């Protein structure tokens, strides 16, 4: 296996994330092989393993990068939003839904994909991802949003709501109304009255 300089490693890792996001969004985790990823990134199949132990690790890494982007979106909304905890959480959820729609990989992350990740990845890798979600929710609390539950519970509720919402067909004429009601219900259920 060739040795890569630090600069080459950074370039290849970025390229793997880019092509991984494209291929996984287009075909799903199960149908994309390590060989597909390597060819798209312009590296040998064996070189893939210098960066990731398996394709699921790459998938989780890409999700982590998307998560960082979504935390930035949360912070931007919190910086400009006013009103009650319920109103501010609804504004955050609305922005997160919009951000998710700009990330096709999230839409493609269905229950079968999640099952594959849970089956193949070590529990500590997945726990770290959930911990990051809880940390994102803790930012809501730090910004003055009063939650009716723990940040971990709120993070898990939000994960499930977004998974369900992402699978509502984009061309459904009632999509906007459904998402508005879903967000309003979640915001009411997760917050304490101000």
Span 130-158, pLDDT tens digits? 777 778 888 899 999 999 999 889 988 98
Shared domain check, 18 and 102: no
Q: How many structural domains compose the chain?
A: 2
> Is the same domain home to 133 and 37?
no
Residues 28 and 112 in one domain: no
Range(s) of the domain holding residue 176: 54-190
The arithmetic mean of pLDDT across residues 58-62, rounded, is 96
Q: What average pLDDT does the segment 109-135 reach? A: 83
Looking at the structure, do residues 135 and 156 belong to the same domain, yes or no? yes
Regarding whether 94 and 67 lie in a shared domain, the answer is yes
Q: Which residues fall within 8 angstroms of residue 113, CB to CB, at 6 or more apart? A: 28, 29, 30, 59
Residues 48 and 73 in one domain: no
37 & 109 share domain: no
Q: Is 17 exposed, middle or buried (0-12, 13-18, 19+ CB in 10 A)?
A: middle
Closest CA relative to residue 92, chosen from 106, 73, 107:
73
Q: Which residue has the higher pLDDT, 17 or 161?
A: 17
pLDDT on residue 2: 61
Q: Are residues 125 and 177 in the same domain?
A: yes
Q: Residue 114 — pLDDT band, cuts 50, 70, 90? A: confident
Residue 107's pLDDT band (boundaries 50, 70, 90)?
confident
SS3 for 147? strand
Q: What CATH number is attached to the domain comprising 131?
A: 1.10.357
If asked whether residues 37 and 65 sit together in one domain, one would say no
Predicted pLDDT of residue 26? 94
The CATH code of the domain that includes 15 is 1.10.10.60
Residues 81 and 166 in one domain: yes
pLDDT > 70? residue 85: yes
Same domain membership, residue 83 and residue 49: no
Cα end-to-end span (Å), the chain = 60
Domain finish residue from 13, 38, 53: 53
What pLDDT band is residue 110 in, cutting at 50, 70 and 90? confident
Q: Are residues 113 and 127 in the same domain?
A: yes
């Amino acid at each position: 296996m060739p040795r890569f300089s630090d600069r080459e490693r950074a370039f290849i890792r970025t390229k793997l994330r880019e092509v991984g996001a494209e291929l996984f969004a287009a075909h799903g985790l199960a149908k994309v092989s390590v060989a597909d990823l390597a060819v798209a990134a312009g590296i040998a199949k064996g070189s893939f393993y210098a960066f990731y132990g398996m394709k699921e690790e790459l998938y989780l890494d890409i999700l982590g990068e998307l998560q960082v982007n979504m935390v930035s979106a949360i912070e931007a909304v919190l910086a400009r939003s006013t009103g009650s905890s319920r109103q501010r959480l609804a504004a955050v959820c609305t922005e997160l839904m919009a951000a998710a729609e700009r990330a096709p990989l999230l839409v493609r992350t269905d229950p079968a994909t999640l099952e594959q990740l849970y089956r193949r990845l070590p529990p500590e890798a997945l726990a770290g991802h959930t911990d990051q979600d809880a940390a994102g929710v803790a930012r809501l609390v730090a910004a003055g949003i009063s939650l009716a539950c723990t940040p971990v519970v709120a993070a898990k509720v939000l994960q499930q709501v977004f998974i369900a919402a992402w699978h509502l067909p984009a061309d459904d004429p009632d999509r906007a109304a459904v998402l508005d009601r879903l967000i309003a219900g979640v915001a009411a259920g997760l917050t304490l009255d101000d």
